[in-house]
Amino acid sequence: MNNWFTVKVKYTKQLENGTFKRVSEPYLLAAMTFTDAEAKIYEELGSVIRGEFIVTNIARTEYHDIFHYEDSDTWYKCKMSYVAEDADSEKKKKVSQNFLVTAHSVKEAYERLQENLQSLMADYDIPSITSTPIVDIFPFREEMDKEISRRPMTEEEEESYQEGKGVVFSASGSDVDDEDEEEELEEADSELEDDFEN
């Protein structure tokens, strides 16, 4: 099972004015385990960051899908929620899912998310869109994940990517379909609402 992990990396960065500053930057990558995530971040950033860097934190992060557009480097976290009915008990429950999308503004992130969710058959709400500090994402790459069976991009997908229509990155296992996980999300949401009301 593959998941998204947020990995924080600390290193000395050279700023545009030539001075050096110690920074801590988060990256998002697809990996199977925490150990795999750490190994991959060293592999990905080893040739990019000059000098030494250390991994200060790794956290599993739930994203249903990631929509990447070439024209922007700012990542927005979009929370989408909808009401689902349990087939057995016929009880309705609120399901929340997080998406990540690149955009120039909150308005554009909202529009791009709506564009990508237009095939969704349920009525949904987008209660929050927030800018994230994520510097870059590293989806699965065939050469780095030889043990994982994957397919190359089709010509149609390649053309769509070239035209700036965006590319969707998914990590199998990151869907919030498990009932326990949905209940945990609902409990976390209700705790936040209680805190907000107090």
Q: Which domain holds residue 75?
A: 3-197
- Alpha-carbon span 12 to 85, nearest angstrom: 51
Q: Is the model's pTM score more than 0.75?
A: no
DSSP-assigned states of every residue in 52-91: -EEEEEEEEE--SEEEE-TT---EEEEEEEEEEE-TTT--
Quote the CA–CA distance of 187 and 156 in Å, as a whole number.
41
Q: What is the pLDDT of residue 148?
A: 39
Determine which of 56-60, 83-87, 127-131, 146-150 has the lowest per-residue pLDDT on average: 146-150
- Number of structural domains (the chain) is 1
For residue 168, the cross-strand partners are: 67
Q: How many helices, marked H, and strands, marked E, lie in the chain?
A: 4, 9
Provide mean pLDDT across the span 95-107.
Answer: 95
The CA distances from residue 18 to 10, 21, 34, 48, 72, in Å, are 19, 10, 35, 18, 25
- pLDDT number for residue 185: 43
CA-nearest of 81, 34, 89 to 176 is 81
Contact 112, 63 (CB under 8 A): no
What is the mean pLDDT of the segment spanning 42-53?
88
Q: What is the pLDDT of residue 144?
A: 53
